[in-house]
Structure 1
Amino acid sequence: MLDARTISLVRAGFKSVLAADDGPAHLARSFYAQLFVAHPEFRSYFPASMDEQRDHFVRALAYVFDNLDKDDRVESFLRQLGRDHRKHGIDGSHFRAGGSALIAAFRNFVGNEVWTDEVEGAWHRTLAFVTDNMAVAADSDELPPYWGATIVEHQRVLDDLAIVRLQVDEGIHYFPGQYVSVQIPQRPKLWRYLSPAIPCNPQGEIEFHVRRVSGGWVSPAIVTESVVGDRWAISPPLGGLQVDRSLRDDVLMIAGGTGLAPLRAQIMEMARYSRNPRVHLFVGGTFPRDLYDMHTLWQLSLSNPWLTVVPVTEEEEDPWWHTTGTHELPWGMHHRLHGPIGKVVTQFGSWADRQIQICGSPSMVRTTIYALRKVGTPMQHVQHDPL
């Protein structure tokens, strides 16, 4: 347990990093420089290009520091993160070395005038809490660091979007709403997080919806280069998005693009039960073409009257350069609404009596949370994966 003063000092220090020009990138570069100088052998665990690695590192830090006062949430995240790093060949000793490097990097960033004995003590206590949770989880986990899987179907549904189904060598037990990290043969050592779009099943099949990210390393290769027969590595599942059936509260789900995948998996799982809370699912995209899975969702809603699906797009028409066929909405489905999805959702009220899940790009999640907060939605009701 960390006291309020310790949490306040660490958060204030990290906010100074976020507020500075190039602050997050500077901190990340300094951290990895400190780490590799002290432990040159660690460099082999990381990809040649470190840009995205540094970005992920800062985002993980931001999530941890934001949730230091929420013991269950942050400890669960840290333990999952510790287990996830086993895919790189990392154990508990590596995390403790990383804690020392981060303290040195932050001390260099703020300077000696700000780095008082009290600040140093706060950072040591916080990083000990962080690294101990990660180290214990990594050293005690009995699952393999990753499983092998083979692509059995690759469907290019849009110019920049593919649905990929794989057969896993051994069954991976995951809960709908969780995510995994994957490594593909075209990009060794570059792991990327993806959410399964179908529930866990006895056949050992797993499905991902992948959007090509402009300037990305892995997603373009998945969309344009992956073929049936490719061998992937898939790490143990992470995350905790879930519908709490014991609360008996209805559910609001907000999806942007392929952020639909973990919500879709949960809805498919819920369809196995005879009784469910009502679910309002808003599915958003920039253009009509982005509503690529409406027919599946429509079929689910026809057989499950507790499910309402509302399509939303920011633009009225597809762009002129769009070459794949537009996915027309099924006859009888709710008419398409227009505007930023957060603004559209909050036109119907604050949804204060709902369990709320938001999935999509980091910018989509941030703007949607802002829109909900603006209309008075209780933030303790909102779930989303770390950005």
Structure 2
Amino acid sequence: MPVPLDAEDVRLIRQSLTVVESRTAEMAVYFYAILFLRHPQVRELFPPNMDVQRDRLLRALLRIVDLVDRPEHLVHFCSRLGRDHRKFGTRHEHYGAVGECLLEALARFAGPAWTPELAGAWQRAYAAASRTMMLAADDDARLRPAVWTATVIAHRRLGPQLAAVTVAPQDPYPYAAGQYVSVETARRPRMWRHYSPAHAPRPDSTLTFHVRAVAGGQVSNALVHETRVGDVIRLGPPEGEMVLDPESSLDVLCVAGGTGLAPIKALIEQMARTRSERCVDLFIGARTARDLYGLDDMLRLSQRYHWLSVRAAVSHQRIVGAEGSLPEIIAQYGPWDRHEVFLSGPPPMVTTAARVLTERGVVPSRIHHDPLDVPVLSSSPDPC
């Protein structure tokens, strides 16, 4: 645990953020400019296009500020960052370079508000965060590799913008059903994106990802439209805590929107494999009936397993059956207060569904979902 900052340090840091918040985008550009100028050796750790990376820096900075007075949550967040940064090739000496340039960028954009007291507060906050990241990275290095190299062994189109990509890692890849994986394709070097295996772990360690090509998404479009059998990709360590508790006997509510069905499908497959008798209610949602990907597969599973019930809903088309958003539909059923809940899909859906379920008596600690928007960098220590 880092030494907690005192109340005055917390006040100064949060106050300084209000001073620079209108210019954070400029500050990020300036930070990376001086970082690469003074420490050119770190440039190779970053992708050629820095737009996404600049946004990630800001998210991480905002999250650290948000958690600065909650040391146990700051440790949780920074530990995940430290483990995740191993795949980039980050070394201990890089943290000093980043800290030096980050504080200079903050000083430049804070202007007269940058006092010796504020500088000291930020130095202590960054020291606590970076030390936690380095310790977590060191611990993780003793347990597993930073990356796994894998070969694409199958590429099947599931729709115009959707593909199932199956890869075979060179070494065993251990993970739990429901976790997600960071993926880098050689077609887009140093650009990592997160996908969930659409199945429980297999004996041969092969992984199948369901990838939807999104507008402007360089990695997703490369995986869907350009990837071929034989291509090499790299995998970061598995992450995420949206996994089954083997000790729980509570029934399960699963809510999946779009390709968010992938980790939900893995969880249900795991329950079938362990011959679980927990009843599972699965709600699958999309904008139109045509977008209800994976529904037929789940309906076939429900015919095989008496404990699985499957319902579908669309929000932008009138059809026979459930019409409306997933949060609206699940509110019509229940009660869910004695269920474990797993949510996966677009962040607005997940956020709204978590709120609806909490309002209807579900204990927040029983609501599970991946970090919203950008995994790890925007992860929340809170359940919903």
Could you state the TM-score of these two structures normalised by the residue count of structure 1?
0.83
Name the counterpart of 1:344. 329
What per-residue deviation string (whole Å, max 9, x for no partner) do you get for residues 17-57 of structure 1? 66x3xx55334323323432432221121111111112233
Distance 1:68-1:289 versus aligned 2 partners, 3 A rule: farther
Distance 1:130-1:300 versus aligned 2 partners, 3 A rule: farther
Is the contact between residue 147 and residue 237 of structure 2 (CA under 8 Å) also seen in structure 1? yes
Name the counterpart of 1:383. 368
Aligned residues: 367
Q: Residue 211 of structure 1: CA displacement?
A: 0.7
Distance 1:282-1:28 versus aligned 2 partners, 3 A rule: farther
What per-residue deviation string (whole Å, max 9, x for no partner) do you get for residues 239-267 of structure 1? 22123343433333222211121222122
Distance 1:209-1:69 versus aligned 2 partners, 3 A rule: farther
Q: Residue 108 of structure 1: CA displacement?
A: 3.4
Distance 1:26-1:67 versus aligned 2 partners, 3 A rule: same
Name the counterpart of 2:51. 51
After the TM superposition, which of the residue ranges 216-225 and 139-148 deviates more from structure 2? 139-148
Distance 1:104-1:301 versus aligned 2 partners, 3 A rule: farther
Name the counterpart of 1:101. 101
Q: How far, CA to CA, are the matches of 1:200 and 1:176 in structure 2?
A: 7
Q: How far, CA to CA, are the matches of 1:146 and 1:213 in structure 2?
A: 25
Q: Residue 160 of structure 1: CA displacement?
A: 0.8
Point out where structure 1 has 5 or more consecutive residues left out of the alignment: 319-334
Name the counterpart of 1:252. 253
Distance 1:66-1:355 versus aligned 2 partners, 3 A rule: farther
Q: Residue 191 of structure 1: CA displacement?
A: 1.6
Distance 1:295-1:74 versus aligned 2 partners, 3 A rule: farther
1:368 and 2:369 aligned: no
What does 1:51-90 align with in structure 2 at a 5 Å threshold?
51-66=51-66, 74-90=74-90
1:161 and 2:162 aligned: yes
Q: How far, CA to CA, are the matches of 1:361 and 1:17 in structure 2?
A: 30
Name the counterpart of 2:339. 354
Could you state the TM-score of these two structures normalised by the residue count of structure 2?
0.83
Q: Sequence identity, in percent?
A: 38
Distance 1:9-1:255 versus aligned 2 partners, 3 A rule: farther
Q: Secondary structure at the match of 2:234?
A: strand
Name the counterpart of 2:315. 314
Which residue identity lines up with residue 249 of structure 2 in the other structure? R
What does 1:1-387 align with in structure 2 at a 5 Å threshold?
1=1, 2=4, 5=7, 10=13, 14=17, 20=22, 23-66=23-66, 74-113=74-113, 115=114, 119-140=118-139, 141-142=141-142, 143-316=144-317, 336-348=321-333, 351-372=336-357, 377-386=362-371, 387=373
Q: Secondary structure at the match of 2:124?
A: helix
Is the contact between residue 284 and residue 292 of structure 2 (CA under 8 Å) also seen in structure 1? yes
Q: How far, CA to CA, are the matches of 1:344 and 1:368 in structure 2?
A: 10
Distance 1:370-1:87 versus aligned 2 partners, 3 A rule: same
Q: Residue 220 of structure 1: CA displacement?
A: 0.8
Point out where structure 2 has 5 or more consecutive residues left out of the alignment: 374-384
What per-residue deviation string (whole Å, max 9, x for no partner) do you get for residues 228-287 of structure 1? 121111121122212334343333322221112122212211222233433322222122
Q: Secondary structure at the match of 2:218?
A: coil
Q: Secondary structure at the match of 1:274?
A: coil
What per-residue deviation string (whole Å, max 9, x for no partner) do you get for residues 74-115 of structure 1? 5344333323222222122213432343333334344433x4
Is the contact between residue 196 and residue 265 of structure 1 (CA under 8 Å) also seen in structure 2? yes
What per-residue deviation string (whole Å, max 9, x for no partner) do you get for residues 153-192 of structure 1? 1111111111111111111111112211111122122121
Alpha-carbon RMSD: 3.0
